[in-house]
Structures are given as structure tokens and as C-alpha cells.
Amino acid sequence: MKQITGIILLLFTLHAQPISSQLIFEKAEYKSRREKLMDRIPNGIAIIRGATIPSGLEHFHQYNNMIYFAGVDIPDVILLIDGINRESTLFFTISERAADEKAIPLELVRDPVTVTGIENYLLIEDFTSAITSRLKLQPVVYTPYWSEEGIAENSMEKFRLIERSVTNDEWDGRLSREMQFVQNLNERFPGIEVKNCTPDIWALRKIKSTAEIDVMREAARVGVKAHKAVMEATRPGQPEKALAALFEYTCMVDVAQGLSFNTIIMSAEHHAYGHYAQYDRILEDGDFIILDAGPDVNYYDTDISTTFPANGKFSKKQAEIYNFAYNIRQVCLDNYRPGITLTDVGMEIKKMFEEKGYDLNNPRYGRYFRYGGFNHSIGMAVHDRMDEFSSETEALQPGFVFACDIMAYADSVTTVRIEDTVVITEDGCEVLSAGLPRSIEEIEAFMKK
């Protein structure tokens, strides 16, 4: 534990930085996003609601869609985007004292139109009367049907959980917040048409702008540093709980506002569960560690996985399966570029397998051939939603950010996950999570230090 304490003190001394509470991007970035949504709803208005004040004592975090279109980190805010009149209105009520307590910029509260670039501002108390008059002239309303994402949440996973555990529970039956709003709109205004704009928002969020990629690159930098800190501190006798705490501390003492998801640490028999995060083992000599974790920085996530031996030295079995996965990763990164499909990348993996004499009929290899290392899109959620994606026919585009997630299996205690956050560029790809020791030689040399 002395080693971990020393690393924490060093990180605090060198890397502690203030976190800005200003808008993440320039006003023009948000305006462009709203205008693109207007293009998709030319016959109506979109209503997007922000997160409510937390019921407990946890820190407030805005919903991703509100941050995406407005950039305001204020509780109980509503954004109305008018596709007919091509203007937007922001509704919120908060005192300067309450804003100051929550580190919300006072200039945002005093002059939201100037700060945000949103054309109109009204108190939240005016929302009902405002939409009542609007809907007499514009009877088409677009609003998200699927669940809004908070920090460390993913839209469809959250929606399905609510549906399974709440809506379909015979002793509960409540709708999600989003679907309750849809029901209320239909009941209050029976003559209107309510449409789901979630797919339109997902389509807009799919390709990241240069400004978004810059933030994600910063998130990846923090994640790489935290992975290295854990690798440096890992040795037989260390508790997994201490390593998980070190990862979070390293992120939070830098510029992270939280984690993309609960840090996953798997060793020994826990490899079998894929996303084990109980931290209930003391590492032993011979353990093979999978660390799957990433920070959230300014509402943008990264996803990184590293695999390494607890004692810093790969066994023969560990080295064989690790090199198998590492070779697949290299083929993927060498071939990701605009215009290519992921299945095309998978065929390059297949060629490599043929050259190395692997059994191409092994059913475990099918996912490599079909998906070419792709696992999920990444952005404001670690499982960022997007339009339906076809690995066979859809060509990669510049600005698409995703997980190159290579998983391989030797036995129940010897599995590998090598995962990078990757963005497609104009002429290839960039590994945003670059800088980690990845080859066996690099990992052993790094951990030997």
C-alpha cells in the first residue's frame, strides 16, 4: 500500500487542476447542432428536458442531450427547438445564490441569451403557457422517447432496465420519465402529433466534430495516465479495491468529472463474467489482470482496456493468447480508414490468420471476421447510440469514434482484452488512447520499473 500512497501524492502534486464550469464549446458549435435538428423537424418543435436536481446528496450532472444542444449545466432546464421559425427557447429558473452554490456561472443566469447564443429565454414557470400557444399553430411535437443519459449511463441499457424492472413490474408499472412526458403531452393536447426524435439526435451525435474529438483526446489522455498508474502499482498482494480507487483518484485529481462506467478489474475466475467490478480479491502471483476503465471529461467518455500479469512477467500461456489478440489489434489499426467497411477489415484479419496457420473454422473467430475489432461507438456515452450500423455495408467516415475492442480466450482464468478508443481521420485513424505499453515487451519493461 505504500507504493499506491506514494503514487497518489505524486499525482496530486503534479496534476491537480481546476475544472472549468463554462460552456465546453463555442456558441456556434451548439447553434450548428440545433440547426441540424431543425432541418430534421421542419414541421414542428422539439422539446428536450434536462436532468432534475438529485434526490440524494450526489453532485448534479446534466443529461447528455441538453449538453449537446445547449451546453448548460443547470438543473430542471427545458430546451425548445422550433423547426418552423428556426429559433430556440431556453426555460429555467434558478437564483444567483443557488447557481453560485452549484458553481454555475452567474453570467449564464443573468444573461442566458448572450452566454448561450440561444435566441429566447423564459422562466420555467412560463413553459406550459408557451407550448400551449405554440401547439395551436404547430401541432407536431418531437421529443426523445428513449431514456436520457446521465453520467455513466447508456440510453438503451437504461431504457430496457426501466422497462424490465419498473414498467413491466405488475406491482409498479410506472413509465420512464421520457415516456411519461409523451403520455402527458397526448393527454393534455389530444389534437397534436407526438413523434420520437431520439433517432434524429443519435444520427447527429454519431459523427464527432473537431472540437468534440479534442475533448475526447483529453479524456483519453487522462485514461491512459490512470491505466499506467494502476499498472505501476500492481503486484501480488495488492487488493483490487486499492487499484480501483487509484484509477478513480488519478482521473479525478486531473480534469475528469467522473468515470465513464464503474471500473472493471477482473482476475482469476472472475474473467468469466466479462464486466466484473466487485474488487473482492487480493492479487496473487500468476494472476492475469484485465483493467477496463475510462474517465468522463466535460461530458465525453473514453473506453480503454489493458491486460497484464500481476507479477509483471507473462507466463507462456498468457503470452500466447496475448500475442494472438495483439496481432489482431495491429491488423485493425493498420486498416481503419475512410471508405472501408469493418467487414473489409475483418477480411484482412482472416488473411493474417491464414498466414499464421490458424483454423479458420473455429467459431470463436467469426466475430473478428465480421466486425473487424469494432465493439461500440463512443462519445457522450461510453456506448454512444447511433443509427443502425452495418459492418458489412457501411463505410467508415471521418469523425466516427469507436472502441477497437479485441477479446481473446485461452481458459477461464486467462482471457485478454485490448481496447482502444479510435477515431477515423481523413486519411486513416488516430488512436486517441495512444501511449500505453501494448506489446508484451513493452508491458514487461514498464512494470519492471
pLDDT tens figures, 296-312 = 999 999 999 999 999 99
The residue with cell 443547470 is 74
- Mean pLDDT (the chain) is 94
pLDDT tens figures, 153-203 = 999 999 999 999 999 999 999 999 999 999 999 999 999 999 999 999 999
pLDDT(420) > 50: yes
Return the CATH class of domain 210-448: alpha beta
Q: What is the mean pLDDT of residues 418-424?
A: 98
Q: Residue 130 in contact with residue 144, Cβ under 8 Å?
A: no
Q: What is the mean pLDDT of residues 330-359?
A: 97
pLDDT(34) > 70: yes
* pLDDT confidence band for 405 (50 / 70 / 90): very high
pLDDT at 56: 77
Side by side, which strands form the sheet with 295-297?
258-259, 295-297, 300-301
β partners of residue 402: 377, 422
pLDDT(19) > 80: no
- The span from the CA of 106 to the CA of 2, in Å, is 43
- Report if pTM > 0.75: yes
- The span from the CA of 162 to the CA of 442, in Å, is 44
In terms of pLDDT, which residue wins out, 29 or 13?
A: 29
Q: Mapping DSSP to helix (H, G, I), strand (E, B) and coil, where does residue 119 land? A: coil
- Looking at the domain 27-205, which fold is it? Creatine Amidinohydrolase; Chain A, domain 1 (3.40.350)
pLDDT at 239: 98
Sorted by where each begins, the domain ranges of the chain are 27-205, 210-448
pLDDT tens figures, 98-145 = 999 988 999 999 999 999 999 999 999 999 999 999 898 889 999 999
Grid coordinates representing 321?
Answer: 493468447
The residue with cell 455513466 is 152
pLDDT at 1: 52
